């Protein structure tokens, strides 16, 4: 843990009366605030959770892995951080599905091209079917 994370957390709370107070928490296990999908070693945005389990205080224990540089870490993260990571993973999945669709269309276009060329060259015969 770096020294920055050892600082007490301060949270301002507005009471129903309109007064606000500052709540200072010491010794609380703090959480890393970085984007979880970014690798701290190589800056790749491909970090993925490989294991996860619920922890107290609406937190999650995550084991994270970077497929680019093989970085691995386990840590405790807030539900909000985990939700943001899930959003990134959903975007990554949507990107992959878009790429798959484009690749499938490109393959089909290539097959149609070759079929048309074969037809034009009289290479397709009735016994092919």
Which residues here bind Zn ion, judged by CB under 5 A? Answer: 39, 41-42, 44, 66, 68-69, 71
- Minimum gap (Å) between residue 43 Cβ and Zn ion: 7
CB nearer to Zn ion: give 40 or 84.
Answer: 40
- Minimum gap (Å) between residue 120 Cβ and Zn ion: 50
CB nearer to Zn ion: give 63 or 69.
Answer: 69
Q: Tell me the DSSP string of 64-111.
A: EE-TTT--EEEEEEEHHHHHHHHHHHHHHHHHHHHHHHHHHHHHHHHH
> Rounded to an integer, what distance in angstroms lies between the CA atom of residue 62 and that of residue 88?
15
Specify the DSSP element, H or E, that contains 6: none
CB nearer to Zn ion: give 72 or 115.
Answer: 72
> Rounded to an integer, what distance in angstroms lies between the CA atom of residue 42 and that of residue 46?
10
- Minimum gap (Å) between residue 83 Cβ and Zn ion: 22
> Rounded to an integer, what distance in angstroms lies between the CA atom of residue 21 and that of residue 11?
8
CB nearer to Zn ion: give 55 or 69.
Answer: 69
What tokens appear for 126 in the block? 């009735």
- Minimum gap (Å) between residue 66 Cβ and Zn ion: 3
């Amino acid at each position: 843990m770096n020294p920055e994370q050892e600082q007490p957390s301060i949270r301002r709370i507005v009471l129903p009366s309109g007064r606000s107070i500052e709540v200072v928490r010491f010794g609380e296990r703090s959480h890393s605030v970085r984007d979880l999908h970014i690798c701290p070693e190589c800056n790749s945005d491909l970090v993925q959770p490989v294991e996860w389990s619920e922890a107290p205080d609406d937190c999650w224990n995550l084991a994270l892995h970077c497929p680019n540089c093989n970085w691995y870490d386990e840590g405790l993260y807030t539900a909000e951080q985990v939700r943001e990571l899930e959003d990134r993973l959903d975007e990554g999945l949507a990107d992959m599905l878009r790429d798959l669709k484009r690749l499938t269309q490109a393959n089909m276009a290539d097959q149609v091209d070759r079929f048309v060329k074969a037809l034009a060259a009289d290479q397709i015969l009735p016994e092919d079917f």
